[in-house]
Amino acid sequence: MIKKIYLMLKTIFIYILYKIKYKQRIKIMLLNSIKGKIKIELEKQSFLNIGKFIMIKGPVYLNCLKGGHMIIGNNVFFNHNCSITCADKIVIGDNCMFANNLVIVDHDHIIIDNEIKQDIESSSVCIGDNVWCGANVTITKGVTIGNGAVIGANSVVTKDVMPHTIVAGVPAMEIKKTCMNI
């Protein structure tokens, strides 16, 4: 019972801290379960919307660069060491589960004449409802993952994933279709 009260107080503290720090640029529900560390950074003109009942084992890092918009749906679970960095737009649907060491980025540095420039190019990432990502998954810019898709452990997703499809590998490729609604 003491542990539940501690977690509730911790969640309320995190809610108040980020609402004070970012005011109208963050929308976060009070009803969440934050067991581990969460770090949120919003640069100017960026926005973060977190739905109802996000569960975080932590640490989880949510970073919106200038002008970035991140939307996380309801009933989303993040395991240990997940990192999401948004320069354009990242949308995560409802009822998604992310295993440990997830990385989602919607941008890359520009390379000209084999030289990495400081400027970036970005393209939005959209993850549908009921998506499950295994451990050590990386999702790159411009990717759409359909509802009910499963991303196997250690995969790098560089292309769209159709709904109810299992993909795995580097780069991730279709393994099979599934009719399951997870």
Looking at the annotation, which residues are catalytic?
109
Strands (E), 59-114: 60-64, 69-72, 77-78, 82-86, 89-92, 97-98, 103-105, 107-112
Distances (CA, A) of 98 to 57, 81, 142, 172, 174: 11, 10, 19, 16, 19
Burial class (CB in 10 A: 0-12, 13-18, 19+), 167: buried
Residue at token pair 């959209």: 126
